[in-house]
């Protein structure tokens, strides 16, 4: 394992999982220059251990790894961590497969990517409400209740029938955005602006991935949704379909 710039953590901690060592070094250099604390590992097995040990804010996860592949690494990370996972894939077509697999990644980036694009993506995920000021905007607000589902925007807690629902940061933010304005049908772009930020550029189907995962965790049937309803021709809204 290589650690770069471990002295100061200004912008956030990023774990790079990439078996091409030269590429890992280059990514670490880009991110260090942008003020991130970075470390890199080169196999899937090391990756899971490093997430446990280092508690990174963001994991940049290469999909094609020797041994334990990126998909399995993402699944394992998700069993104990809600850090942001940005999957790097060499083929754009792979994103469709990943969407189908619902592995719990927060975003995808297609290789080859530019330094600027990568830094922008990482900055975007870290600007999101978990650590930003938008969480404070909800201070003192009561929990929003939809049948057995309770969404507490101030405490960032989501409960179903009294039990905490293990959501990723992206899923949680999306649910909070939807729940805060249940009368409104959001377009995918509006959800992206609210959750990822208006600078985010990418495939709007990312929204569908997170909605599908969210519904799975909430036990919601897409055909007759109780919580996250599809509004045909528009996008999604909160409440019974």
The binding site for Ca ion (CB under 5 A) comprises: 19, 62, 64
Buried b (16+ CB within 10 A) or exposed e, 169-203: bbbbbbbbbbbbeeeebbebebbbebbbeeebeeb
> Minimal distance in Å, beta carbon 46 to Ca ion?
14
Question: Among residues 19 and 203, whose Cβ is nearest to Ca ion?
Answer: 19
> Minimal distance in Å, beta carbon 22 to Ca ion?
12
> Minimal distance in Å, beta carbon 70 to Ca ion?
8
Element (H, E) at 172: helix 169-180
User: What are 157's strand-pairing partners?
Assistant: 152
Whole-number CA gyration radius for the chain: 18
Question: Among residues 15 and 167, whose Cβ is nearest to Ca ion?
Answer: 15
> Minimal distance in Å, beta carbon 131 to Ca ion?
29
- CA 112 distance to own-chain centroid: 21
Question: Among residues 93 and 140, whose Cβ is nearest to Ca ion?
Answer: 93
For residue 213, the 8-state DSSP code is H
Question: Among residues 11 and 59, whose Cβ is nearest to Ca ion?
Answer: 59
Q: Label residue 92 exposed, middle or buried (CB < 10 Å: 0-12, 13-18, 19+).
A: exposed
> Minimal distance in Å, beta carbon 53 to Ca ion?
22
Question: Among residues 62 and 106, whose Cβ is nearest to Ca ion?
Answer: 62
Residue 184: CB partners within 8 Å, gap ≥ 6?
237
């Amino acid at each position: 394992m290589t650690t770069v710039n471990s002295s100061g953590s200004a912008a956030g901690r990023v774990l790079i999982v990439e078996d091409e060592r030269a590429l890992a070094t280059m990514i670490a250099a880009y991110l260090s220059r942008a003020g991130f604390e970075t470390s890199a590992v080169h196999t899937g097995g090391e990756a899971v251990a490093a997430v446990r040990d280092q508690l990174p804010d963001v994991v940049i996860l290469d999909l094609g790894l020797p041994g334990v592949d990126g998909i399995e690494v993402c699944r394992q990370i998700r069993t104990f961590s809600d850090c942001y996972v940005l999957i790097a894939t060499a083929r754009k077509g792979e994103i469709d497969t990943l969407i189908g697999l619902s592995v719990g990644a927060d975003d995808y980036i297609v290789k080859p990517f530019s330094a600027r694009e990568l830094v922008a993506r990482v900055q975007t995920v870290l600007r999101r409400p978990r650590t930003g000021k938008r969480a404070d905007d909800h201070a003192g607000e009561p929990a929003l209740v939809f049948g057995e589902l309770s969404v507490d925007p101030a405490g960032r807690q989501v409960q179903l029938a009294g039990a905490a629902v293990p959501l990723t940061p992206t899923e949680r933010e999306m649910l909070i955005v939807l729940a805060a304005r249940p009368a409104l049908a959001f377009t995918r772009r509006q959800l992206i602006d609210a959750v990822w930020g208006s600078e985010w550029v990418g495939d709007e189907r990312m929204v569908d991935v997170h909605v599908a995962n969210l519904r799975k965790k909430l036990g919601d049937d897409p055909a007759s949704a109780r919580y996250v309803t599809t509004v045909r021709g528009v996008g999604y809204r909160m409440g019974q379909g």
